[in-house]
Structures are given as C-alpha cells and as structure tokens.
Amino acid sequence: MCGIVGIVHNNQRDFQQNILHMNDIQAHRGPDASGVEKLTGAILGHTRLSIVDIASGHQPMSCNSNKLFITFNGEIYGYKEIKKGLDYPFKTNSDTEVLIALYKQYGSKMLSKLSGMFAFAIWDDQERTLFLARDRFGEKPLYYGFTDDGDFIFASEIKAIIASKLLTPKVSGKAIGHYLQRLYIDPLETIYENIHALAPGSFLTYNDGRLEINRYFNYPITQDISLADATEIFQDKFDKSVQRQLIADVDVGAFLSGGLDSSTVVAIAQKYNQNLKTFSFGFEGTMSELSYAKEIANRYGTDHHELLADKVDIADL
C-alpha cells in the first residue's frame, strides 16, 4: 500500500508545503519513503511501502526522456511478462517503470494489458496532460476535486485533499440521504459534494481545464458452460492468480484461519513459495480457529505465527 497525491495548476504559486502536508497525512500508507516532484504546471507526491525493487523504485518516477512522470499505488500482477514485450530502456526492476513504459507506448490503451490492484497518475510534462486510472474492481482508492482557486487535486484518501487546505469541503445532502436510508455512502460518491471518487475500471484525463472520464472495463457477458468445464477453468485461473501475486522482494505472508478460502490460497501459494509465512489470530474464552490454522500450517510446512488476544479495544483499530 502506498499513497499518491498531486495538484495540477495554472499559476506560479509554490505548492510544495501543500503536497508535503498531503504526504504527511497519508504517511501510514507508505512508511518507507516519500517524495515530491515539482513540474511545470503540476506537482506530484508519493509515500512508499517498499515491496518490489526496494533499492531503485523511488517515486515519483520519470521516464527515460523526463517527459512523463508517475506516482503509483498498488501492484501489477505479471509485470515481468509485460516487460518482455516492451521496447524501452529499463533502469529498474519495478512495476512502476513498466507502467510508464506502457503509457509511453500505448497511451490509455495500456489499461487493457493490466492485471492487478492499482491507482496511478501520469503527468505528461510536454502535453501538460494528467492521466489518472483505477483498477477494475476499485481495490485501490482514488479521489479528486477542484480547489477553491480552480486547480485540480487528487489523492489516495479524502483527508489528504482536505489536508492540502486548498479546498473547502462541502457536505453532500445526497450522500447523507443515502446514508440514512442504507447506512453507507454510495461507493461511487463521497460524503462531500466537491470531492469525487474515480469509479472502478475507469480513467480520467485532465488538460487545460478540460476533464474527461472514460470507462475501460466492463464485466464480460456470461456464457453457458458445463460444471466440469467451469471447474477446470477456475482451477487454472485460481492457480495462476495466486502465483502472480507472490512476486515481492520482501517476505510473503498469508492470513490463515483454517477455513476453506485461506487454506486453499495457502495450499496453492506454498507450491511456488517454500518460505511462505502464515499468521492467525484468535481470542481467549471463545471458539478459536487457531487449532485449525495450525493444522493447515503444519500440513504445508509454513512458518506459522499465532497471535492471541482476550479483548480488542475498538479505539486501537
């Protein structure tokens, strides 16, 4: 998990302190490093949790010609295979650089080639164009709005936009009504009428005051299929999905409850990572899943860690 922030502006004001405040409020998303890139007409920020290419994956990152700059939150599954098909002089081993190389080669069509969880911003310093994109299912958050002076602003979290002190948040009556009826805020909206969520499977472009949002992913049309064929296809896709998500330059772990879902994930993951670590959490005085989890961990030979608590203070969550 990382944090991304940015401001696109049309004036000579120095937004350095505003971006630093935004980075600071999202420091919990990326405790390993932070960075700021001041550009002509834009400023980007990033807080990093180092997982892939720890040494050279610092962000914001620029392309080889210093015309494109990216701030990225997430993980691109299978990025090493994507990298092989790109004509680009790579300097790092990060999936971040793969994204910027993809954009340089394919533009917005790059999104059809991606699998993963992501929210990223690419600034074209030559065209003065911002490109924002969010993964298919909205696993990674991305919010945007316009400041009181009309500048465009975005961040991984709403509170980072507010922390910039460039935008006066206005509570949405529509969002309150939705909450009172259904006890949650519509995920395609926010509690503020002037701060918006980029919809999952969508991308946004912003240039010279013009904003355009397009959808790049829609759920495929279902087709009739036999149970036997569906089972075979699912097993193959599930296996490949777990395998692709094990790429990391740090230790890989899994939460293991002993139930069917987590046990299946661990069973597949252990085939590709012999050093997998598993973690379980239980409560004293209640029916605990620790014994089941320990049995599964022993079966697959993982390095298992058990965490036990008799109570949890909601204030600590």
- Catalytic residue numbers? 2
What letters, b where the CB count within 10 A reaches 16 and e where it falls short, cover 152-178?
bbbbbbbebbbbbebbebeebeebeeb
8 Cβ contact list (under 8 Å, min separation 6): 41, 42, 123, 130, 151, 152, 153, 206
Q: How many residues does the chain have?
A: 317
DSSP H helices, 245-307, are: 260-272, 290-300
To 10 degrees, what angle do helices 260-272 and 227-244 make? 60
Sheet of 3-8: strand order equals: 33-39, 42-48, 3-8, 152-155, 143-146, 195-197
Sheet of 253-255: strand order equals: 253-255, 277-283, 303-309
